[in-house]
Chains A and B, each alone.
Chain A
């Protein structure tokens, strides 16, 4: 019972050199207002730093935001490092400027869902509530 009542913990992360953080910051607030516990990495994080934060903060979900076009390498690398650190239970979602055709490739890598510009805050938080369970 205690586990179910535990607040879901979300890491909102900005991988790479991309400076576009409006979406990440707005979504971090939306998660907080929706009752999740939120950690925001700030900008310019390497995949290694993001996975270290996920491990240290013991999060249930990682939300990656990238608008620079470097998502294929950066998102893939985060997934790879999570596996190496035995954090397969941590789910990963992504958002940003991502061409349609990259979405199936990202999902194949292990990204659970990709949210594109125009996605509403409500849709994103609802999706997380419906699809992500706190890690045991």
Chain B
């Protein structure tokens, strides 16, 4: 990156500066003996040309829209189009959530994102004994196509993209969305969106699981194959680091485990479906956390793109540049927010959102200030949306692409994260890949160690959390939190019963039998699921078939 002369001058200058530092330190020690990121990665006092001397501009940085995409996926980035303002929302009934969606769209949201309640996430209907007390609590309850119709009422499916955080029953919810499009006469080539559909990180971190790993992966590859052939603008998977980080991982672990998951999915589709890598790789999408450590996060986003480009080109021999690029959604870190002095969360979220934007995200969810207390109120969700809009329209950060490129610190940190993430990926490869690593509890225990280490550091005040272990206030401003109507569960069960009463039960049974028969073969199951949901088969009726054939995964309970 530099001429010998520049490097020599830089080294000489550094020696002189270090002497000065020694003098100053003798008079007064620095605030801490060791400065580190929230992931406990040590950070130097100063970065100089020496730290980036091995960097090769074309190889490591380059141009936006060009391999290795360190600077961004698209050639024009936010000058062409802002990132998508995509607020994760869902609560209570489909009506409640539909109302919130319309509110957010009116306020300038540009993409939808669905939070489902736990029974929906786990493949249970609202009337299951396992679902007692959970209906609508953590998101919206969806049992049948009827609920999906209500949820999407008045939403132009060909005018806005919809993301769905759904994993074990991803095919079912996707089939319902495709079914609604069908009924509205909108072709599948005109709808866009994302299903999360990433089970590996469920076993590692988010822990909504249903089937064992092997059949879980099969359903994922079915979705990728079906999307590739029939729903070309859909992202059939969102390979997610977000939950890995929320479970307590470091930035490096988030990066490494997410990419290792991505490798496992590509390998499975290649092997199981015999698709050409360039046929499906362009629709693989990603999802990261934006945590509190500003520069560590920006470096992480830049590294992620560069590493994925290298993996796709060098490891999988993809030839289409679209297969090399990593497009990702970002959510600010829920786990960084505090129940104490909750208004401070607005500030945390703003800086995390800024890091995501400086890191070149394609889409962003900003958490509401009341996230640690309850689901977001409309007031809190609107402030979170406005935070993105202020960044986009007022701060000027979207005027130029990848503004931190060339910073000695950011480039050096980008390199360091990459190096450490490769070490993990190599270890996982040596274990025989991510499935084998999960089987022996490797990522799970690495994350558990990191989470405990972090919490001890908070207890010891080595990590500061304002309002929790420093600047603690005895009184705090009241926060109005969202209250859900207790009748939601009753009403949802009533609607479910009504659907079961009025549907053609003979046809439901027929489509479910077809699905059962196909599930025992290698056939792609998506068409069968679509046929069943269109007859108003319930989510659990479909998932029970799979539980019956493939068995259930139980939490090994690592801690």
Contact = CB atoms under 8 A, between A and B. Distances in A.
Interface stretch (A54-62, A85-93, A118-126): A118-126
Interface in B420-442: none
B459 A97 contact: no
Interface in A44-59: 44, 46
Contacts of A109: none
B37 interface: no
Contacts of B119: 17
A33 to B, nearest CB: 9
Contacts of A36: none
Interface string A7-36: 000001000111111101110111000000
Interface size class of B (residues with CB under 8 A): 35 or more
B335 interface: yes
Contacts of B160: none
A66 B208 CA distance: 14
B339 A68 contact: no
Contact of B207 (A21, A30, A117, A122): A21
Contacts of B558: 25
A16 B451 contact: no
Interface stretch (B124-132, B350-358, B509-517): B124-132
B248 interface: yes
Given A17-B134, A97-B372, A118 B556 contact: no
B333 interface: no
A40 B468 CA distance: 27
Nearest to B334: A20
Contacts of B110: none
A24 B557 CA distance: 10
Given A17-B124, A17-B131, A17-B134, A120 B458 contact: yes
A72 B374 contact: no
Contacts of B248: 22, 26
B452 A29 contact: yes
B207 A43 contact: yes
Contacts of B465: 118
B207 A73 contact: no
B393 to A, nearest CB: 33
Contacts of B458: 120
Contacts of A44: 122, 554-555
A99 B451 contact: no
B556 A42 contact: yes
B191 interface: no
A18 B118 contact: yes
A26 B62 CA distance: 42
Given A29-B452, A42-B554, A121 B459 contact: yes
Nearest to A98: B373
Interface string B365-401: 0000000111100000000000000000000000000
A67 B459 CA distance: 21
Contacts, number: 105
A22 B451 contact: yes
Interface size class of A (residues with CB under 8 A): 20 to 34
Q: What is the predominant secondary structure among interface residues of chain A facing chain B?
A: loop
A19 B208 contact: yes
Interface string A86-121: 000000000001010000000000000000111011
Contact of A68 (B134, B459, B554): B134
A22 B335 contact: yes
B150 interface: no
A12 B452 CA distance: 16
Nearest to B340: A118
B524 interface: no
A73 B130 CA distance: 12
A99 B555 CA distance: 28
B97 to A, nearest CB: 15
Contacts of A20: 207
A43 B339 contact: no
Contacts of A99: 373-374, 481
B503 interface: no
A77 to B, nearest CB: 8
Contacts of B338: 117-118
Contacts of A43: 207, 555, 557
Interface string B136-160: 0110000000000000000000000
- When A and B form their complex, which 7 residue pairs have the shortest distance between CB atoms, in order from nearest? A73-B133, A42-B557, A69-B137, A19-B207, A42-B555, A17-B118, A25-B559
Interface of A: 12, 16-22, 24-26, 28-30, 40-44, 46, 68-70, 72-74, 97, 99, 116-118, 120-122
23 contacts: A17-B118, A19-B206, A26-B451, A29-B452, A30-B455, A42-B557, A44-B554, A44-B555, A46-B129, A68-B118, A68-B138, A69-B134, A70-B134, A70-B137, A97-B373, A97-B374, A99-B374, A117-B338, A117-B339, A118-B338, A118-B340, A120-B459, A122-B459
